[in-house]
Amino acid sequence: MELNLRRNKRGVDFKPPKDNHLVLTLAYSMLPLIMRTMLKIKTVQVEEDDLVRLRQLEGQRVVLTPNHPTHWDPVVMFQFSKLFGEEFNYLAARELFDRASLAWLLQRCGVYSVMRGTNDRESFRTTVDLLTRGKRKLVMFPEGLTCWQNDTVMPFHGGVALFGFWALEELAKKGPPPPLYLVPVSIKYIYVRNMQKEITHSLTMLQRSLGLSLGHLSLYEQLRKVGEAVLASAESEYGVRPKPDANLNTRIQNIKELLVNRIATGIGVNLKPDQPLADRIRTLINTVDQIVHEEPQGPDYKIDLHHQRQEQVKPFYDDLSRVLRFIATYDGYVRETLSVERFLDTIGQLEREVLGKRRKQGPRKALIRIGEPVNLADYFDRFKKEKRNTIEFATTQLESRVKKMLNEMGRFTVPLEKLSP
Which range is most confident: 111-125, 129-143, 284-298? 129-143
**What is the tens place of the pLDDT at every residue in 217-250?**
999 999 999 999 999 999 999 899 998 899 989 9
**What is the tens place of the pLDDT at every residue in 92-119?**
988 889 888 899 999 999 999 998 777 7
HSE value, Cβ hemisphere, 13 Å, CA-based, for 179: 13
Express the helix, strand and coil content of the chain in percent, nearest 5 each.
55, 10, 35
CA distance 254 to 239: 12
CA distance 363 to 361: 7
Q: What is the pLDDT of residue 70?
A: 93
Residue 155, judged by CB atoms within 10 A of its CB (0-12, 13-18, 19+), counts as middle
**Do residues 367 and 182 lie in contact, with contact meaning Cβ atoms separated by under 8 Å?**
no
Q: What is the pLDDT of residue 12?
A: 59
What is the pTM assigned to this prediction? 0.90
Q: What is the pLDDT of residue 419?
A: 56
Q: What is the pLDDT of residue 418?
A: 60
Domains and CATH numbers, the chain: 21-193+362-418 (3.40.1130.10), 197-353 (no CATH)
Work out whether the CA dihedral 144, 62, 382, 120 comes out positive or negative.
Answer: positive
CA distance 112 to 89: 8
Query: How confident is the model over 356-384, as a mean pLDDT?
Result: 95
